[in-house]
Structures are given as C-alpha cells and as structure tokens.
Structure 1
C-alpha cells in the first residue's frame, strides 16, 4: 500500500520547489480540500485557466467547487514544478481515447510527465509517474449502492462480495471499485472500458495484473478508498484480446 505525501499550498502563487518523482513508481499527493480549500481559492485566479474556473463555477455545491479548485490548483503547482514552468503556463491537453479516438483520453501535458487526478467529497489524490498512470479515490459507498452495482463487476468479484458479511461489503466494494477505476483511467478509457473485464479482487490486497500494469491500494483517511495503477515501462496499451476474463 502506498502512503501519499500531504500537499501543502504555498502562501502565494509562487512556484513550489521541483519535486523528485521516483523512477518506476508513482509519486502520490493527497489534498485536503476541507482544511486548505480557502487558500486554494485565493490562488485559483492566478493559477487556473478560464476553462477550469468556468467548470468550477458551474458545480452546484460549494463543497464540490472547493474540492475541484483545490485539486486543480495543486495539480498545476506540482506539474509546474516538474516541468519548470509557471503553474498557469502548464500545457494541459487530452490524448486520443484508445476506444474511439475522440479527444477525451488520458489528460496530458504534451510530454515530460504522466499524471492522473481524482477527487471526491473533501479529498483529492494526484499521481505522477514516468509511465502512464491512473488514480482513483472514492467515499466508501453505502450498502444500497453496493447492492445496486455489485452485479456489474467481474463475476468472481460479485461472488466474493455476496459471501462477505453485510457490514464488510462497502469497504470491499470501495477497494475493488477504485482498483478498477484507477486502471481504466490509466488506460485512458474510463468506465467505458467496463467493470467486468478484469478480475482484481475485493480482498485486502489487489490481485496481480492486469497484464502490463501494477495496481496498488493507497492509504487514505477513514471512510475513503483509493488505488493507483501504473503501466510497466515499455508496455503498449492493452488490446481487447489481452484483457484477462
């Protein structure tokens, strides 16, 4: 299990020091949007672009706006430090979707570093690596949500959940959901890649694979679940025939 660093926002919009990203492993950062959302909001006008500010403003709930802003300000600060540019000058783009070729694949900078971002109620998680990477953090779901969605998982995972005591199912579902979401984000397909295609397991440790990927749980505050997926150096994206059933 990975232990992320806790991100500290600078007092002003200045660049933060360049941070080393370990080769072959992800660098993970946890953002507490509840504690630090106010500082991120003050930095946002000088860091985020017009599109990001507009997307934040369109979110209906203040808590969601605060979390989005904190996550994206932290992302630009960390990417700016890595790339050696001002945070507002980080060139954020999208790679082509591997499923349909549309402009909604993995977020990218046009070279230099791979990254992924996920945020949920009050918490954001960011991952950086020297190979394609995906990260996901979620609030542990209610039993009702587990019952509604468990059937969409790999059949073996659905059986595992059904065999657990009811009180253990939400945490187990949170583990397997974030593992799958992290991998699909790393592939660049998102949930369009399907929840049943890969078996990752609901247990305390993820099962090996998918082929060419390392999936690891991430330590996050109680009530949340998180995982990160990193593609092995030199491995191409998976084709449909490569996916384990």
Structure 2
C-alpha cells in the first residue's frame, strides 16, 4: 500500500442542500519512488487492458499501483478481497451507453485520481468525483484558459498567482465533471465552478494536498463529514 499523505483539511464554501448530508472518506497517498509492477495483482480485465496500453513501463507501473491501492481501499470498505471486486461502468449521462463512471457492482460510490506519484481516492454513499493535479505551467494555462467559463477566466486572470489559481479551479471543475459521470466530454465553458461555486445539487470542497499539487472532491448532495483516512 502506498504511504498516506497526512494533511489537515480546509474547505471551500459549501452550500447546504435540501438533502441528507453525505459523509466522504478520502485517502491521499504517495506511490513508491520507483513503482515496479511485475504483474497486474488484483486488477480486473478492463484495468489490465488499460494497463497494457501504456507504452512506458513507469506509467504502466503507476497505473497498476494506483488501481491496486484503490482495490485495497474498496476491499477494506466492503470486507471483500481486492481481487474479488467486480468493477462495472454506469450508463453515460449523455448517450446512455455503458461507458460512464466506474462503479462497484455492489458497493459504495468511489472515485480515483492520480498525478505523477500522488493518488487521491474518495468513497461515499452518493456519486462522488475527486481530482488531484500538479501545479499548472504557464503553457498549459494558455492552452486551456480560453476554454473555461468566462467568470472562471476572470478569477484566474485577476489572481496574484495564476498557476495556483488555475490549478485550484481546474481540480474543482474536473472533480465535479467526474462526479456527474461526463468528464471532459462536457464543455468546460458551460458551468461556473471557480474557487467557490457549488453546482445545483452538488457540494465541491478543496482538499489540501502536498506542495506543488492541488486537490478537490465533489459529492452529490450536502457535504457531511469529510475524513482523510491514514491507512486501509
């Protein structure tokens, strides 16, 4: 299991929604410095297919390590062996085909994100999305900024630290897009999330990561307790 990154939590503005509060459990992990994947471990058929698609061994190893950690966490949450968990795809909200958000055949909702060697896993009893990213470079900001919602563009342009502001806005938006099951197939300009936005029916919160990274979680409903677990 990768090492947990222990960090106090701070929250962005959270709108109290007219639903039962949803508790969220998060694991912020760091993969080994040189993850050496000699096999696929407990991964299922779809995960193995995706792993073999990586041409670079280091990227393949990180994918395997991140998804192994996810299965270990879900196994601990459900009381099942990691290799016995059956992963499925929910219907896509856009077209109805079975290529939407990954899900357990019978278990809690979850979301996984990894950037370099940093992994974030979220588990809840409602649809959830998480995202962690390294601080954006100026070149990536220039490529993506014009595609964001105009209000988000203004927030970032007016910020003292554009890189940090952009990365925070990005992880908040991507966490929500993952939560609703559409991901980046939805236009980035369609919705205003920004630094404090709360989409109707959803709660979005910042999750402090380690220096050089930003992270966020989105959950459908009112956000209840947000807990970072030290270990599986």
Normalised by the length of structure 1, the TM-score is 0.77
Structure having greater relative contact order (Cα 8 Å, sep ≥ 6): 2
Uncovered stretches (5+) of structure 1, i.e. residues with no partner: 8-22, 234-245
Aligned residues: 205
- Pick the aligned partner of 2:209 from 207, 210, 220: 220
> After TM superposition, where is structure 1 displaced by more than 4 Å over at least 4 residues in a row?
none
CA distance in 1, matches of 2:150, 2:210: 29
Normalised by the length of structure 2, the TM-score is 0.81
- For the residue of structure 2 that corresponds to 1:100, the secondary structure is coil
For each residue in 1:116-170, what CA deviation from the matched residue of structure 2 results, as whole angstroms up to 9, or x when unmatched?
01112111111000110000111111101101210111101112222234xx111
- Pick the aligned partner of 2:198 from 181, 205, 209: 209
Q: CA RMSD in A?
A: 2.0
- Pick the aligned partner of 1:101 from 96, 101, 112: 96
Give runs of aligned pairs for residues 27-176 of structure 1, distance below 5 A: 27-35=25-33, 37-38=35-36, 41=37, 45-165=40-160, 168-176=161-169
Contact preservation (8 Å) 1:67, 1:123 = no
**Aligned match of 1:10:** none
Contact preservation (8 Å) 2:40, 2:64 = no
Structure 1 position 207, deviation (Å): 1.5
CA distance in 1, matches of 2:64, 2:159: 38
Uncovered stretches (5+) of structure 2, i.e. residues with no partner: 6-20, 223-232
CA distance in 2, matches of 1:71, 1:143: 28
Q: Which has the higher helix share?
A: 1
Contact preservation (8 Å) 1:63, 1:122 = no
**Aligned match of 1:188:** 181
